[in-house]
């Protein structure tokens, strides 16, 4: 079913450059089977996060409701709704890592980076690096047998 209201709005209000890029990405994948996740990943790679504007454009291209696309974005922890901070620390909280100190490492990371707006601390449930727990990823680089001192060393490397 066509959305007449949307079509009328398109004629009156030009799309932003971001919306045009998102629409182009969605259009490339629209004919694929199950295109929503690949489109959202591509949008995030392009823009760094999936904004409300992106959700609306993807929904329009795929003829889905905004609620369906938003539900998908909010369900998967890999999708960001806001720009990422400069640094990300992810600590595995799965059973194997928990058994070797991940809870303490996560608490140490939260304490160390509390109040820093340029660092996000996230919990992840298994990197698949179980033999080297506790595992953590710092700015996308996976590390094993991580200690609080390793996090401090990483932080020192961030400072010019």
Q: What is d(CA 151, CA 40) in angstroms, rounded to the nearest whole number?
A: 31
Tokens at residue 116, please? 């820093």
φ, ψ of residue 102 in degrees (nearest 5): -65, -35
User: Which DSSP helix (H) or strand (E) runs through 90?
Assistant: strand 87-92
Residues 6+ apart with CB under 8 A from 86: 118, 119, 158
Q: What is d(CA 94, CA 143) in angstroms, rounded to the nearest whole number?
A: 15
* 136 within 8 A of 89, measured Cβ to Cβ: yes
φ, ψ of residue 52 in degrees (nearest 5): -55, -40
| Largest pairwise CA distance in the chain | 59
Residue that the structure tokens 């100190």 belong to: 101
Binding residues: 92, 97, 126, 130
Binding residues for [2Fe-2S] cluster: 92, 97, 126, 130
């Amino acid at each position: 079913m066509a959305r007449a209201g949307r079509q009328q709005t398109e004629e009156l209000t030009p799309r932003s450059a971001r919306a045009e890029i998102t629409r182009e990405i969605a259009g490339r994948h629209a004919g694929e089977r199950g295109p929503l996740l690949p489109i959202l990943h591509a949008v995030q790679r392009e823009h760094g996060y999936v904004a409300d504007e992106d959700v609306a454009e993807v929904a329009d291209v795929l003829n889905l409701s905004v609620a369906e696309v938003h539900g998908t974005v909010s369900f998967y922890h890999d999708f960001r709704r806001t720009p990422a901070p400069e640094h990300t620390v992810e600590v595995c909280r799965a059973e194997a890592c928990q058994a070797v100190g991940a809870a303490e490492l996560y608490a140490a990371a939260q304490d160390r980076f509390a109040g820093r707006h340029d660092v996000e601390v996230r919990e992840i449930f298994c990197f698949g690096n179980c033999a080297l727990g506790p595992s953590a990823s710092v700015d996308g680089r996976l590390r094993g047998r991580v200690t609080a001192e390793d996090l401090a060393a990483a932080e020192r490397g961030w400072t010019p």
